[in-house]
Structure 1
Amino acid sequence: MAGRACGAAVSVLLAVGTVGGCGTVAERRDGVRDTAAVFETALREGAYDRVCTVLAPGTVQELEQTSASPCAKALSEASPTPGGALRRTDVYGNQARTVLSSDTLFLSHFNSGWKVVAAGCEPQPQQLYQCRIKGG
């Protein structure tokens, strides 16, 4: 998982326009922030089962296939670190990016709410983000 580019998923997330999505921009931004907070709190507490509940289905599937373990065990083995304080949240319709002090999360809106599509993401000079946790 480490060092693999998030590639197309991140470029699609950043390319999505501001049209679409349910609710006002403020409501969507609050939903993104709430999901990011749940993700970060669970990660900080080592509650990987709770982390898995806010991951997008494709991200859970990728983690499980790559590690040949259930999501929570795969995360435990990967030992991702919390990203710290919230610095910025950008919402693009049904896609979002949350920049933390030492991480960037990418989220998508599903029928069940906002889910983390990629985490452990760092920008690369003149390239796409590189994400340690991502969907396929």
Structure 2
Amino acid sequence: MREPRRRVAAASVLAALVLVGGAGCATLGERRSAARAAALGFERALLAADGAAACAALAPETREEVARSAESRCREAVLAEELPAAGAVREVDVHGRQARVVLASDTLFLSRFRAGWKVVAAGCVPRPGRPYQCTVKGGWRPPMRTMFTLCLLIIAAGLAYSIVLGAIQR
């Protein structure tokens, strides 16, 4: 009687993990479109010399770094960076919560935050065999809530694995 209950429990835990893991995930096309829109919004703000809007499009750590390195407010500092006029979108690559948007004259890197896609780096130039060189950049730290959720998922996966393994061995 105990073995069928364990199998049902194991199957329930695995089903819950699949549902939790897949809940709220946008399709690849939707993520590409959203990253593209965020990159173009940043570029439009720069073109219009709207420093406040450009800073709002930056990731928090990038915004802080832009202001800190220029020793002024972000909205003035970002416009002083002399980023290239980007042009048309040529390519959008999305991997999980990270994206690279290649424009005619610039490459942007973005991350997905609770508030949407934000620019982590801009004015990026590829260097063969080395990382991109970026004019505007900042560090990125995942929010504590994200880290806590990740830890819980890892623990739940380990627990599910142990339950399934125990059910198989019996």
Shorter-chain TM range is: 0.7 to 0.9
Structure with the higher fraction of residues in helix conformation: 2
One-letter amino acid of the counterpart of residue 39, structure 2: A
RMSD value over aligned CA atoms? Answer: 1.6
Residue 107 (structure 1) aligned to one of 107, 110, 118:
110
Residue 126 (structure 2) aligned to one of 123, 128, 133:
123
Structure 1 or 2, whichever has the larger Rg, is: 2
* Partner Cα separation in structure 1 for residue 54 and residue 122 of structure 2: 11
1:44 is the counterpart of 2:50:
no
2:27 alignment partner in structure 1: 24
Deviation at 1:126, TM superposition (A): 1.5
* Partner Cα separation in structure 2 for residue 40 and residue 61 of structure 1: 19
2:38 alignment partner in structure 1: 35
Deviation at 1:45, TM superposition (A): 1.1
Runs of 4+ deviating beyond 6 Å: none
For the Cα contact (< 8 Å) 2:81–2:136, is it kept in 1? no
Deviation at 1:81, TM superposition (A): 2.6
One-letter amino acid of the counterpart of residue 67, structure 2: E
Q: Secondary structure at the match of 2:120?
A: strand
Identity percentage of aligned residues: 49
TM-score by length of 2: 0.66
Q: Deviations over 1:13-47 (max 9, x none)?
A: xxxxxx98821101111110110110111111111
* Partner Cα separation in structure 2 for residue 46 and residue 130 of structure 1: 24
For the Cα contact (< 8 Å) 2:84–2:105, is it kept in 1? no
Instruction: Give matches, 1:42-81, under 5 Å.
Output: 42-81=45-84
Q: Deviations over 1:79-131 (max 9, x none)?
A: 32321110000000000000001110000000000000000000012111000
Gaps of 5+ in 1: 1-18
Q: Secondary structure at the match of 1:59?
A: helix
One-letter amino acid of the counterpart of residue 124, structure 2: C
For the Cα contact (< 8 Å) 1:103–1:120, is it kept in 2? yes
TM-score by length of 1: 0.82
May I ask how many residue pairs the two structures share in their alignment?
118
1:13 alignment partner in structure 2: none
Q: Secondary structure at the match of 1:123?
A: strand
